[in-house]
Chains A and B, each alone.
Chain A
């Protein structure tokens, strides 16, 4: 058996698949190390309001997972970190990790004094730019590690010293610089996840042009109490309550001009979001424009439940374009009802584009050669000896399957280090 150093497992990405892979491997007795690009662990699910079909909050599972990490000395993690280089081979990888400065060290108690002192505001990436946040900020309510971050722009600004002085615990270090660390690991789980397809490319839908055309991920933030509107679903243009909400399915998905594959989750996500709307607006009219409703296995029950709502209309037809009507308030969706051959123009005052999942590996591939499919997904879980892909870098899917995949990847990573 090789030495203990090379028995450790590196997990890149700490979304549900990476987080799971790391924790499961650690709980089976293996040293694991997580590398996460964000200042917090947990990935995209942090930004979701509820999961379908149970309509339960992602924070619940994350909280348990974070507790498992806190209790387990076998897990280490780096946030604001990226893997720059991988060399070597199975059982003996040499990994270079770049750590970006957070400018706040472990002395931070989240007292919030730095944010109080700060006047500079930046776009809030956590809320997909729908609001602003102080440049000294806690990424979100349940951020783990629970520690503030300073934006590099703030550190360069004249305010920097004032912010540093505002910290009663001397937790701010303005001189932090990017640095790299070298790690020796036996195997690697690559779980860098996905990003929402860029809605700006969907010019027929006027995203960016009409403020009331939003994406499904933005809708999650609107519905969340920690979002830009304290959980109130309102029209971004005028802050008014929407009366008619249209969910446009396959916005760029199943589309050769954009993402030819199906992201598998958007149908259910939109149905779930329809329940958010319904909860806040019992009289709102909701349209879901679809090609095929893909509610696989027992998720069919959820579809049936949503279908029972008389004010939710499932409309079979892909929306071709969205324009604004003359009064500049309502959006008009041009769509064919393919079951009746009717050409319709339907007005809505809030449109949610169900954009799909694009693998992050499509623009940020692994720093070592692995096979990809036509769409930039890693083509196989066994990407190469000792390197395993897990979660949405492999196939777009929902949380429980991602966790399943992460657990499976943990096994393969362990087998890889044990085999030696």
Chain B
């Protein structure tokens, strides 16, 4: 599915490419790739098309694709979102970069679009270019524009500069850069450009000077300690960055806020405390998901995975972003990325068709079951599901789409009516485990402490503390949870009413650098726990009895101390008055 009339995307404009082994420029072989696609009978191509609507979930997606006024519906197993990027709007650039002041100030993107016929000429009159300056990081690495680095502009500038040199060996070509970023073997391209006589100037804030007929750049050269003036330029090329297409459109959290404000007036229950994902109406997938029509994005609107070890662990099951929509990258990486995303898509179809979950609970055959007759339509589960797996009907009844589910149990933890359970994991099950804990009598002076630990990190850390023969307080009993997000407050209430003296939750780090593989599990547990103080007050219990502690898998060195200290606190607080009731 391609929105343009031809396949190939931006690369269709590109004449020369720079890729492995980065020894120089090479011809773009996009045509061959396009042919391979169009000739493959297993690939159905829609160009000039749009996805009107995507419903369902992995294995049972149904996408409505419109093309030339007709629509077609397709059954789809999984989706690769490779919708790419848009160049940063050069009109927004600082005035000192001169865009708009002269037709001869263009962007790196315009360079490709204008000169893909072959000859590189002065934009104003097509004359040969002999003096050209490339200004890097135009509106990039700049908090007022794009704060990030688009990764590929240095290599692109080197390539374009080499193209000019190939056309006219005597041309004076300048690259004004802030940091030259040519990682890996692409360092060779930098060297090649130097060998070809391209001049490099390190400057954090160059200025383009446009007067009637002449174009000049003044740059404070950091490595010279003086400003350098480059005069009589035929062309200035600004390296603008990549904006993911997911960055366009209204952010639904803003819509939600508005709606919430209205609802708050009506006095409905407040769900404000649940952190919402940034999802923009960028009209790419148009998912019929309760939580928004597109993939939730990370910072700067990239719908990337948040996990270093799992770059395809996207926030919507069965939908894998690839290429520059995920993060800025060059063609070599983009091709790898596409292959990786397809791998995940195939795998998702394979697992889903067997009824199994995908990563990180890959192979899990259970799924949440809803005892709908007891549902109060509180929306907790539909709002809190980190993967948008639960839709809602008009009456706010949850409509779980099982194949989207990652089996984390956040819904189970969220549900105040305890109507959600898995075949092998339920509120009752953990409740029974808590009930089975032996609670010593008050006169035994042995408090009992319950640890609810995330099985991915905290529990593994406790395990490693054990392997290292570390000792911690013997009052402790541990119950591992799929994710702290599945922690239901009823367990806290049950534990306390049973006489357990203290409860400590061990979960993953949350916040910007969250480590929870179910995104918000530990954060939600923390939020829920913060509300427990009311309950404690009602029961006339001390709030120190419950605690949330962030633990990573390598924290086993400090874990015994944390637990011991908690035990001490509990000892000081004294026995739970509900003991023996």
User: Which positions in A face B, CB cutoff 8 Å?
Assistant: 16, 24, 27-29, 49, 51, 53-65, 68, 71-72, 110, 112, 141-142, 146, 224-226, 230-231, 254, 260-264, 292-301, 304, 316, 338-341, 373-375, 377, 379-381, 395-401, 403-412, 414
Q: Complex Cα distance A39/B340, Å? A: 28
**Contact count A vs B, C-beta below 8 Å:** 205
A403 near B467 (CB under 8 angstroms)?
A: no
**Contacts A65-B309, A68-B362, A408-B337; A298 near B327 (Cβ below 8 A):** yes
- Chain A residues lying within 8 Å of B261, measured Cβ to Cβ, are none
11 contacts between A and B (CB under 8 A): A28-B350, A29-B350, A142-B553, A225-B556, A226-B554, A260-B187, A298-B148, A298-B302, A338-B222, A403-B309, A404-B312
- Chain A residues lying within 8 Å of B343, measured Cβ to Cβ, are 24, 28, 407-408, 410-411, 414
- Chain A residues lying within 8 Å of B30, measured Cβ to Cβ, are none
Min Cβ gap B562→A in Å is 14
- Chain A residues lying within 8 Å of B66, measured Cβ to Cβ, are none
Q: A60 touches which one: B149, B188, B305, B457 (CB < 8 A)?
A: B457
Min Cβ gap B116→A in Å is 26
- Chain A residues lying within 8 Å of B108, measured Cβ to Cβ, are none
A54 near B456 (CB under 8 angstroms)?
A: no
A60 near B183 (CB under 8 angstroms)?
A: no
- Chain B residues lying within 8 Å of A404, measured Cβ to Cβ, are 311-312, 333, 336-337, 340
Told that A262-B187, A293-B179, A411-B343 touch, could you supply 16 new A-B pairs with CB distance under 8 A? A53-B513, A54-B515, A56-B552, A57-B553, A60-B457, A60-B554, A61-B309, A71-B362, A112-B469, A142-B553, A341-B225, A395-B184, A397-B184, A399-B309, A404-B336, A404-B337
Q: Complex Cα distance A297/B152, Å? A: 9
Q: Is B180 an interface residue (CB 8 A)?
A: yes
Q: Is B249 an interface residue (CB 8 A)?
A: no
- Chain B residues lying within 8 Å of A16, measured Cβ to Cβ, are 309
- Chain A residues lying within 8 Å of B298, measured Cβ to Cβ, are 298
Q: Complex Cα distance A90/B69, Å? A: 46
Q: A292 touches which one: B21, B181, B337, B350 (CB < 8 A)?
A: B181
**Contacts A63-B553, A261-B185; A411 near B179 (Cβ below 8 A):** no
- Which 3 pairs between the two chains have the least Cβ-Cβ distance? A61-B309, A264-B183, A408-B339
Q: Give B282-323 as 1s and 0s: 1 = Cβ < 8 Å from A's Cβ atoms.
A: 000000000000000011101001111111100000000000
Q: A403 touches which one: B311, B457, B513 (CB < 8 A)?
A: B311
**Contacts A57-B553, A60-B553, A404-B340; A28 near B187 (Cβ below 8 A):** no
User: Which positions in B face A, CB cutoff 8 Å?
Assistant: 20-21, 141, 147-151, 179-188, 191, 222-223, 225, 298-300, 302, 305-312, 327-329, 333, 336-344, 346-347, 350-351, 359-360, 362-363, 456-457, 460, 464, 467-469, 509, 513, 515, 517, 552-554, 556-557
B340 near A294 (CB under 8 angstroms)?
A: no
Q: Complex Cα distance A289/B343, Å? A: 40
A61 near B181 (CB under 8 angstroms)?
A: no
Residue of B nearest to A294 (CB): B181
- Chain A residues lying within 8 Å of B554, measured Cβ to Cβ, are 49, 57, 59-60, 224-226
Min Cβ gap B28→A in Å is 18
Q: Complex Cα distance A292/B137, Å? A: 14
Q: B308 touches which one: A54, A72, A263, A408 (CB < 8 A)?
A: A54
**Contacts A298-B302, A300-B147; A27 near B464 (Cβ below 8 A):** no
**Contacts A24-B347, A64-B360, A411-B342; A403 near B310 (Cβ below 8 A):** yes
- Chain B residues lying within 8 Å of A414, measured Cβ to Cβ, are 343, 346
- Chain A residues lying within 8 Å of B148, measured Cβ to Cβ, are 297-298, 300-301
The residue in B180, B223, B359, B362 that gathers the most chain A C-beta atoms within 10 A of its C-beta is B362
B552 near A297 (CB under 8 angstroms)?
A: no
Min Cβ gap A104→B in Å is 16
